[in-house]
Amino acid sequence: MPSLILASASPRRLSLLAQIGVVPARVVAPDVDESVLKGERPRDYVMRVALAKAAAVPCGADEVVLAADTSIAVGGRILGKPEDEADFVRMLGLLSGRRHHCLSAVVVAGADGVVRTRLSDTMVAFKPLSSAEIAGYVASGEGWGKAGGYAIQGRAEAFVRRIDGSYSGVVGLPLFETRALLATAGVDCG
């Protein structure tokens, strides 16, 4: 049975894997340029970055690499992680009272040399946010380092009117898709 390498420094992804009984043998943070290419569509972007993360992690013949990338898309615009406070406020303003897509690409590079991919697309609808709610959320610091500037598993869950798709995908790793890919690659999923 191959051992698993998680190509991510995200504690959320490690925790989500534990929910399905998977403990990686190693965790490696790949150094990948996550810049959006000119004219790149959100779906293409998350898959390209996830594939690059998987390719950046060397592995042996008896190892499987799991990589993922999550991004928020609003009307074709890709929202990454907030760069500064003004960017953070701008992102939350774009999400306020609107639906957006949370795209999570999962890549499993198998010991058999096969690269397997899945894309999870979850629709999330935020309630209209007041400027006080936005300022309070920014001040909480919770959304720093997160795609779209929010963490659904925290205070931002109170902003969500509706979700259609994978909750764990919005957190950062869609477990249904991940488990299926890992099982196909021969990784024991509890």
Active site residues: 69
How far is C-alpha 1 from the chain's CA centre? Answer: 27
Distance CA 51, CA 32 (A): 10
The answer to whether the Cα torsion of 180, 48, 16, 137 is positive or negative is: negative
> Distance between CA 59 and CA 16 in Å, rounded?
22
Residues making up the chain, counted from first to last: 190
The alpha carbon dihedral of 8, 11, 16, 17 has a sign of positive
Q: What is the distance between the alpha carbons of residues 107 and 66, in angstroms, rounded to a whole number?
A: 6
Place of tokens 């610091």: 141
Contact 166, 120 (CB under 8 A): yes
Here the tokens at position 116 are 């397997």
CA angle 45/46/51 to nearest 5° reads 100
